[in-house]
């Protein structure tokens, strides 16, 4: 009886309960738990030690990592699952867990990261990321596209070369005026600029085939609301592309670039996309800058279900 009471007391802490529910679903390392829970290593290790001492989790060495599993009795887990239903973060943990497991399976990603690291280090005449990106944009086949938080609209103007219609939205009247004048000069009659907030873009619902938030989400007061808005603007089957900064600690960005958020973790972005309703999620680190402060670019893709 004492053991059961002690176990129940341990699980009265929401963090330990969340850890146990994750380990019941999948064996995980401390690093993976860190990514899912968004907590520091020392905090998670302390909680695991307490759970292990009571026999609720076990660990096994795998290479350089300890892999933890749930070893709690079935009757205790029945109670734990009932308690977990009252912890709101458990649903977010389930989404983050799916993302971590997807990354684990994607073994080829390391290979492509290595290739990406080599691209541009050796000079090859005429080859650049800019040229490659422009070539790929030209083969996209979307009818109606929105560049949300477009700034002066460089991306929107590239998209306008291929799409039937492009709507560029920005909060700054000066940016919109500059971009619209540039579109007129270049004869891009299918490119329209509109003044508006990415949290409530002035675009008709279910009218877009593709929406893009390129380095805009970290300027939003409420990023989740911006993703929710993008979801409702898309037609069923429409796609959202998010390019933003991976979470960093360069505080000066708030003053230098008027950043509201210091980037997002992969799990955070995946969780927000899922909460908005998007499926077929892809969230990866697409680029790593070599110059300080060594920003990393996060790429997120989601589809509005049919």
The answer to whether residues 114 and 83 belong to one domain is no
Q: Does residue 119 sit in helix, strand or coil?
A: coil
Task: Answer with the one of 87, 116, 143 that is the final residue of a domain.
Answer: 87
Task: Answer with the one of 87, 121, 138 that is the final residue of a domain.
Answer: 87
Q: Residue 177, preceding bond cis, omega within 30 degrees?
A: no
Q: Is residue 93 part of a domain?
A: no
- 306 residues of the chain, pLDDT tens digit each: 447 888 888 899 999 999 999 999 999 999 999 999 999 999 999 999 999 999 999 998 877 788 999 999 989 999 999 999 999 999 999 999 988 888 776 655 565 566 555 656 665 566 566 676 767 776 677 899 999 999 888 889 989 988 999 999 999 999 999 999 989 998 999 999 999 999 999 999 999 999 999 999 999 999 999 999 999 999 999 999 999 999 999 999 988 888 999 999 999 999 999 999 999 999 988 888 888 899 999 999 999 999
Q: How many domains does the chain have?
A: 2
Which residues sit opposite 146 in a β-bridge?
Answer: 167, 211
Structural domain of 298: 108-303
- What secondary structure letter does DSSP report for 219? G
CA distance 306 to 275: 17
pTM of structure? 0.67
Q: Does residue 65 sit in helix, strand or coil?
A: strand
The answer to whether residues 206 and 256 belong to one domain is yes
The answer to whether residues 192 and 238 belong to one domain is yes
Nearest CA to 159 among 173, 178, 179, 175? 179
Which residues sit opposite 119 in a β-bridge?
Answer: none
Query: What are the helix (H) ranges across 106-195?
Result: 108-118, 129-138, 154-159, 173-185
Q: Which CATH number does the domain housing residue 54 bear? A: 1.10.10.10
Tokens (6 digits) for 278: 């998007």
Q: Is residue 102 part of a domain?
A: no
The answer to whether residues 123 and 66 belong to one domain is no
- The distance of Cα 146 from the centroid of its chain, to the nearest Å, equals 19
Please tell me the chain's helix, strand, coil percentages from 3-state DSSP, rounded to the nearest 5: 45, 25, 30
The answer to whether residues 19 and 130 belong to one domain is no
The answer to whether residues 154 and 202 belong to one domain is yes
Q: Is residue 99 part of a domain?
A: no
Containing 301, the helix (H) or strand (E) segment is strand 296-303
The answer to whether residues 160 and 67 belong to one domain is no
The answer to whether residues 131 and 74 belong to one domain is no
Q: Which CATH number does the domain housing residue 178 bear? A: 3.40.50.150
The answer to whether residues 275 and 154 belong to one domain is yes
Q: Is residue 6 part of a domain?
A: yes
The answer to whether residues 82 and 151 belong to one domain is no
The answer to whether residues 34 and 82 belong to one domain is yes
CA distance 42 to 77: 25
């Amino acid at each position: 009886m004492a053991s059961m009471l002690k176990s129940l007391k341990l699980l009265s802490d929401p963090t330990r309960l969340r850890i146990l529910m994750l380990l019941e679903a999948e064996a995980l390392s401390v690093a993976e738990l860190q990514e899912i829970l968004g907590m520091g290593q020392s905090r998670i290790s302390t909680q695991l030690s307490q759970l292990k001492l009571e026999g609720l989790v076990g660990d096994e060495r795998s290479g350089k990592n300890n892999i933890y599993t749930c070893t709690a009795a079935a009757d205790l887990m029945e109670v734990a699952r009932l308690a977990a239903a009252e912890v709101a973060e458990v649903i977010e943990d389930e989404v983050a867990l799916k993302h971590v497991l997807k990354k684990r399976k994607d073994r080829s990603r390391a290979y492509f990261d290595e290739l990406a690291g080599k691209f541009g280090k050796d000079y090859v005449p005429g080859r650049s990321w800019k040229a490659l990106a422009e070539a790929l944009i030209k083969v996209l086949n979307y009818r109606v596209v929105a560049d949300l938080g477009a700034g002066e609209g460089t991306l929107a103007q590239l998209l306008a070369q291929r799409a039937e219609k492009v709507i560029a939205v920005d909060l700054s009247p000066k940016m919109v005026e500059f971009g619209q004048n540039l579109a007129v000069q270049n004869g891009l009659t299918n490119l329209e600029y509109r003044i508006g907030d990415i949290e409530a873009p002035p675009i008709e619902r279910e009218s877009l085939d593709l929406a893009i938030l390129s380095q805009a989400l970290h300027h939003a007061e409420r990023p989740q609301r911006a993703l929710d808005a993008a979801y409702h603007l898309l037609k069923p089957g429409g796609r959202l592309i998010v390019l933003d900064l991976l979470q960093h600690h360069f505080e000066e960005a708030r003053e230098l670039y008027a950043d509201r958020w210091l980037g997002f973790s992969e799990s955070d972005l995946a969780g927000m996309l899922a909460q908005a309703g998007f499926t077929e999620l892809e969230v990866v680190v697409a680029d790593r800058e070599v110059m300080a402060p060594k920003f990393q670019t996060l790429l997120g893709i989601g589809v509005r279900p049919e």
